[in-house]
Amino acid sequence: DLSLLKSKFRGSLLGALIGDCLGSSYENEEILTTGMKLILQRSFDKLEGPMFKAPVIQFTDDSAMTYSMAKSLIDTGELDIIDLAKRFVKSYYQEPNRGYGPLVVTVFQKLRGNKFMDILSPAKEQFNGQGSWGNGAAMRVAPITLFCYQNYDKLLDIVRKASQLTHTHKVGVDGAILQAVAVQQSLLLNPNEELNAINFIDDLIHKMNQIEIDDDGLGLSEPQPYKVQLSVMKSLILEEGEESHEEKVVQILGNSVSALYSVPTAIFCFLRAQKPITGIQTENPFRRAIQYAISLGGDADTIGSMTGAIAGAFYGEEKINPNLLQHCEASDEFRNLADQLFNAATA
Ligand code: F2R
Ligand code: MG
Ligand code: MG
Ligand code: MG
Q: What is the ipTM of this complex?
A: 0.95
In angstroms, the CA 119 to CA 112 distance is 10
Nearest residue CA, atom 16 of ligand 1?
136
Mean pLDDT of the chain: 95
> What DSSP line would sit under 3-41, residue for residue?
HHHHHHHHHHHHHHHHHHHHHGGGTTBPSPPHHHHHHHH
Greatest mean pLDDT among 7-11, 28-32, 50-54, 101-105: 7-11
Radius of gyration of the chain (CA): 19
The bound ligand whose nearest atom lies closest to the alpha carbon of 163 is: 3
Percent of the chain with pLDDT over 70: 96
- CA 235 to ligand 4 center in whole angstroms: 27
Separation CA 240–CA 160 (nearest Å): 34
Model confidence pLDDT, tens digit, residues 58-83: 999 999 999 999 999 999 999 999 99
What's phi and psi for 168, nearest 5 deg? -115, -15
End-to-end CA distance of the chain: 15
Under DSSP, is residue 183 helix (H, G, I), strand (E, B) or coil?
Answer: helix
Q: Which ligand does the CA of 21 lie closest to?
A: 2
Judged by average pLDDT, the poorest of 121-135, 206-220, 244-258 is 206-220
pLDDT in tens, 150-181: 999 999 999 999 999 999 999 999 999 999 99
Evaluate if residue 222 carries a pLDDT over 70: no
Query: Quick check: 19 and 308 in contact, CB under 8 A?
Result: yes
Q: Identify the pLDDT of residue 220.
A: 55
Q: In this structure, are residues 280 and 239 in contact, taking their beta carbons and an 8 Å threshold?
A: no
- DSSP, residue by residue, 289-319: HHHHHHHT-BSHHHHHHHHHHHHHHHH-GGG
Say whether pLDDT at 195 is over 90.
yes
Q: What is the DSSP letter of 261?
A: G
CA of 90 to the centre of ligand 4 (A): 20
**Quick one: pLDDT at residue 60?**
98
Determine the distance separating the centroid of ligand 4 and the alpha carbon of 305, expressed in angstroms.
9
Is 21 a residue whose pLDDT tops 80? yes
Residue 53, classified by CB atoms within 10 Å of its CB into exposed (0-12), middle (13-18) or buried (19+), is exposed
Q: Are 298 and 254 in contact (CB under 8 A)?
A: yes
Q: Compute the distance from residue 136 Cα to the ligand 1 centre, in Å.
A: 7
Atom of ligand 1 minimally distant from the CA of 105: 23
Q: Are 146 and 69 in contact (CB under 8 A)?
A: no
In the predicted model, what is the mean pLDDT of residues 141-154?
A: 98
Mean pLDDT of the region 186-192: 98
> What is the Cα–Cα distance from 129 to 144, expressed in whole angstroms?
26
Testing ligand 1's pocket by substitution, the residue of 103, 128, 169, 258 carrying the most ligand atoms inside 8 A of its CB is 103
Which bound ligand lies closest to the C-alpha atom of 135? 1
Per-residue pLDDT averaged across 273-296, rounded? 96
- Ligand 1 binding site (Cβ under 6 Å of any ligand atom): 27, 60-62, 99-104, 127, 130, 132-136, 139, 169, 257, 299, 301-302
Lowest mean pLDDT among 16-25, 51-60, 164-173, 259-268: 51-60
User: What is the per-residue pLDDT for 214?
Assistant: 59
Mean pLDDT of 314-336: 98
Q: Ligand 1 atom 2: the closest Cα is on which residue?
A: 101
Q: What is the pLDDT of residue 241?
A: 63
Mean pLDDT of 230-252: 86
Question: Residues with beta carbon < 5 A to ion ligand 2?
Answer: 60-62, 99, 301
For residues 262 and 138, the answer to whether their CB atoms sit within 8 Å is yes
Q: pLDDT grade, residue 216 (50/70/90)? A: low
pTM score of the predicted model:
0.97
Q: How far is the CA of 288 from the centre of ligand 2 (A)?
A: 20
**If you measure from the C-alpha of residue 214 to the centroid of ligand 2, how many angstroms do you get, rounded to a whole number?**
32
Task: Judge whether residue 52 has pLDDT over 90.
Answer: no
What does the pLDDT read at residue 61? 98
pLDDT tens track for 78-123: 999 999 999 999 999 999 999 999 899 999 999 999 999 999 999 9
Q: Which of 57, 132, 139, 296 to mutate to test the pocket of ligand 1 (most atoms within 8 A of CB)?
A: 132
Nearest-CA residue for ligand 1 atom 14 is 101
C-alpha 149 – ligand 2 centre gap (Å) = 25
| Distance from the alpha carbon of residue 176 to the mean position of ligand 1, in angstroms | 15
Residue nearest to atom 11 of ligand 1 (CA): 99
Q: Which atom of ligand 1 is nearest to the CA of 133?
A: 32
pLDDT of residue 294: 98
Instruction: Determine the pLDDT at residue 217.
Output: 58
Look at 169-173, 239-243, 278-282 and tell me which has the smallest mean pLDDT. Answer: 239-243
**Low-confidence winner among 2-16, 176-190, 204-218, 281-295 (lowest mean pLDDT):** 204-218
Give the pLDDT of residue 215.
61
Pocket residue to mutate for ligand 1, from 100, 126, 165, 260, most atoms within 8 A of Cβ: 100
pLDDT at 291 (0 to 100): 98
